[in-house]
Chain A
Amino acid sequence: MAYDLIVIGTGPGGYVCAIRGAQLGMKTAVVEKMATFGGTCLNVGCIPSKAMLNASELYEEAAHKFSAMGIKIGKPAVDLAAMLKYKQQGVDGNVKGVDYLFKKNKIEPFIGTGRIIAPGKVEVKAGDGKTQVLETKAIVIATGSDAARLNGIEIDEKRVVSSTGVLELQKVPQKLLIVGAGIIGLELGSVWRRLGAEVTVVEFLDHILPGIDGEVARQFHRMLQKQGLSFKLSSKVTAVDASGKTLKVKVEPASGGTAEMLETDIVLVAIGRVPYTEGLGLEAVGVKKDNRGRVIVDAHFRTNVDGIYAIGDVIAGPMLAHKAEEEGAAVAEILAGKAGHVNYDVIPNVVYTYPEIASVGKSEEELKAAGVAYNVGKFPFTANGRARVNLTTDGFVKILADAKTDRVLGVHILGPDAGNMIGEAAVAMEFGASAEDIARTCHAHPTLTEAIKEAALAVDKRAINL
């Protein structure tokens, strides 16, 4: 029996692609290697980490903020086992949701490892070793990514862990050393710092959060230090000695020099992620990859082999679940003969720390590099009524608008609930809005979103509450 579409991988890119394809009348199947659907994001990534971030943040609030608001609860305590269970329930609920959506859309799931044996032919090898071959008109590779490894440092997921293992620690470590001051490292570092660990972050570059607007990253860096995280910038980890009871980590200056040994209980390697195409059989069918192992696709997500497409982390672009989702829907629409399209200029990016960082569009550094003349409008949460009463006045909203046309080119929010607030900016930018358009849109009072409106007014130097 032949399918119209087989999607390999059921992460956010893959499952959205399958559902969109089924909605458009394609006979669709998915192949998933894990026991549950949802990929990295739902099982060991975005979702469980957000559960831990939420729980640990509330714990910190209970410990430090409640008394200021007149709530007396004594000293709160952490029951890590129960917290991990709460996290797992969140994961299970989401994963089952995907299962339900597949049934609802009559998508046939195959559990096993997918391998493309020829264009239009996918072999699925189940856990018991049995194989079957599925035939299809189109194949979409949505196999995602895996944690990048550090040369010479083995990840055992017990003491030297990736983002997966760090969410399964059964005991709050006394000391946690994180390699990489990117989004994953800082989010998970925040979790364990709140729960009581002493956290040190080692970063090769001289600043944290590469790619994030410099002003935002610098301010955030200071906030994290105040929260108790310590940083070793311009440094690299060259070896981890796991022979003793504690781990001994060799840290050297990035440019070389005298090494120092740091003792820690846990090392989290969070230096990024790499495309995952192992065992897919891409070499055999001749699908080309670039020098970073990413599957090469054209603007319509076609690989160089007819009938084979790829989306998400496995191709170029930011490794973000929502970017993969957009691509999944777009490729399904293209396969159905419609005009699927992803606007890569408007993809929000969120760091779920406290405070959160959310951005969409260009950073100041990018605009300067491109020689674009722009105006800046900035508004601090200290001047926002809602943030003040909530005692969450850290951070600001920054809007970058074209100096000539006033078109919004980038929005950067460092502050409480930034991730939820960035949606407004994304919609505005998708429609080519000017800063004035945001400024002239009524925002409810008292809300944090008023800070966005004020920043838009500030582009024209006419903020009201500052």
Chain B
Amino acid sequence: MAEIRVPTLGESVTEATIGKWFKQAGDAVAVDEPLVELETDKVTIEVPAPAAGVLSEIAAKDGETVAVGAILGQIKEGTAAAPKAAPVQPAAKAAPAPPAPHTPPRSAPATAKPSEAPLAPSVRRLSAESGIDAATMPGSGKDGRVTKGDMLAAIERAAAQPTPLAAPAAAVQVRAPSPPDDASREERVRMTRLRATIAKRLKDAQNTAAMLTTFNEVDMSHVMALRAQYRDLFEKKHGVKLGFMGFFVRACVQALKEIPAVNAEIDGPDIIYKNYYHLGIAVGTERGLVVPVVRDCDQKSLAEIGKTIADFGRRARDGSLKLEEMQGGTFTITNGGIYGSLMSTPILNAPQSGILGMHKIQERPMVVGGKVEVRPMMYLALSYDHRIVDGREAVTFLVRVKECLEEPARLVLDL
């Protein structure tokens, strides 16, 4: 009998919701075959089969909340049924057909042992009985050791989790009942964890920051000309399209270097200025918005940035982004333009202090040198936290982004 457990989901993530079982009890499974999809606050991951055999038991059903280390089900080991399993792998939409680029942390509880200290005998027993891996828990004992009390509390938390999640939800449902006629035409759907997290984070950002937005517009004709001129050459050499996003990333880095407050965050009484440039790129997916982070953008070429973003976009859509790829951003770029937005006020990605909104490029009559010309124009929006970014700084930042895009030579000349 092999147990299927919730793997370690990364720092600060202690629980997950069962998204969907790809298999039913009694189905044959091959080793490493994806069995179940788990949704966490940040990512959706697939748990692979730890052994080949027959899925004999499903312990946590779709929609249930489970703690890290909890038992999801059991596999009765044996290869007899395995051959049957392989062809039955359509696994709906979510299972990526191409060789999965993601590396799910298989049997992570067994491998990740941060603490070298031997566990107390009571803790070893409770760990074995409950399936909660003591090695992944913070301990209250000497030198951070996990005590029996810590384990009992963790087990209690894990046991209580399905209910408390339902309980507050029930409390929130204070909405007056709809007229029966309408009620029958309503559909009540539980928010996914990702959706609930997005909702909470966005509202938190609004509640915390002194947020406001400044606007500008950029004439995209130079960037477009540059792109038209080098498109083929660039793609041939680097194997990636020469997109607009890379220019925006570079322009933002240039401006962030000049206005460090936009790249900073507030931590209690302190301001933390970050001398590194990890830019989050918001990507819409059918599950909701995710923001993978392109690290050290100041040290990456346009081609590297382009490649990274393309890879993130692909993996955001198939749900295989890793948690650590969405952490540590210092500034965010969001592009409402892909959906046709002309103007918007983005909400900060807390605790960051700035977010650039890109929009649709639209040809508009512009007055250039006293004459009206048709130019491809884009409105730019910078939402910022007025607590640490002054109006002058915000406007200067946005003007610098505009200048870099209107005269891409500035990016080369570092102006």
Contact = CB atoms under 8 A, between A and B. Distances in A.
Indicate whether A and B interact. yes
Interface of A: 402, 404-407, 430-434, 436-437, 440-441
Nearest to B140: A432
**Most chain B beta-carbon neighbours within 10 Å: one of A430, A434, A441:** A434
B121 A407 contact: no
Interface string B88-122: 00000000000000000000000000000000111
A431 B142 contact: yes
Interface in B127-149: 140-142, 145, 147-149
A402 B149 contact: yes
Interface string B192-207: 0000000000000000
A437 B121 contact: yes
B141 A434 contact: no
B125 interface: yes
B152 interface: yes
Contacts of B142: 430-432
Contacts of B147: 405, 407, 432-434
A405 B149 contact: yes
Contact of B125 (A405, A431, A440, A441): A440
A10 B148 CA distance: 41
A402 B120 CA distance: 17
Nearest to B152: A405
Contacts, number: 47
Contacts of A436: 121-122, 125, 148
Contacts of B153: 405
A437 B152 CA distance: 14
A433 B124 CA distance: 13
Q: Please tell me the size bucket of the interface on B.
A: 10 to 19
Given A406-B122, A440-B121, A440-B122, A434 B149 contact: yes
Contacts of B121: 436-437, 440-441
B414 to A, nearest CB: 46
26 contacts: A404-B149, A405-B148, A405-B152, A406-B148, A407-B147, A407-B148, A407-B149, A430-B142, A431-B120, A431-B142, A431-B145, A432-B141, A432-B142, A432-B147, A433-B122, A433-B147, A433-B148, A434-B120, A434-B122, A434-B147, A434-B149, A436-B122, A437-B122, A437-B148, A440-B122, A441-B121
| 4 nearest A-B residue pairs (beta carbon) | A405-B149, A434-B148, A440-B121, A432-B141
A323 B140 CA distance: 24
Contacts of A405: 147-149, 152-153
Contact of B149 (A406, A430, A440, A441): A406
Contacts of A431: 120, 141-142, 145
**SS class of chain A's interface: helix, strand, loop or mixed?**
loop
A414 B148 CA distance: 27
Contacts of B120: 431, 433-434, 437
Nearest to A430: B142
Nearest to B148: A434
Interface of B: 120-122, 125, 140-142, 145, 147-149, 152-153
Nearest to A433: B120
A430 B149 CA distance: 15
A234 to B, nearest CB: 41
Nearest to B153: A405
A17 B67 CA distance: 49
Nearest to A442: B121
A430 B145 CA distance: 11
Contacts of A430: 142
Contacts of A433: 120, 122, 147-148
A437 B125 CA distance: 10
A406 B141 CA distance: 13
Given A406-B152, A432-B142, A437-B120, 19 more contacts: A402-B149, A405-B152, A405-B153, A406-B148, A407-B148, A407-B149, A431-B142, A431-B145, A432-B140, A433-B122, A433-B147, A433-B148, A434-B120, A434-B148, A434-B149, A436-B121, A436-B148, A437-B121, A437-B148
A404 B122 contact: no
Contacts of A437: 120-122, 148
A289 B125 CA distance: 50
Nearest to A407: B149
B117 to A, nearest CB: 10
Contacts of A402: 149
Contacts of B152: 404-406
B59 to A, nearest CB: 26
Nearest to A405: B149
Nearest to A441: B121
A437 B141 CA distance: 13
A434 B125 CA distance: 12
A50 to B, nearest CB: 31
B151 to A, nearest CB: 9
B146 to A, nearest CB: 9
A218 B140 CA distance: 36
B147 to A, nearest CB: 4
Contacts of B149: 402, 404-407, 432, 434
A405 to B, nearest CB: 3
B400 to A, nearest CB: 48
A240 to B, nearest CB: 50
A436 B140 CA distance: 17
Most buried by A among B122, B145, B149: B122
Question: Which of B121, B125, B141, B142 has the most chain A CB atoms closer than 10 A to its own CB?
Answer: B121
A432 B123 CA distance: 12
Contacts of B140: 432
A442 to B, nearest CB: 10
A437 B145 CA distance: 13
Nearest to B126: A436
Nearest to B124: A440
Contacts of A407: 147-149
Contacts of B141: 431-432
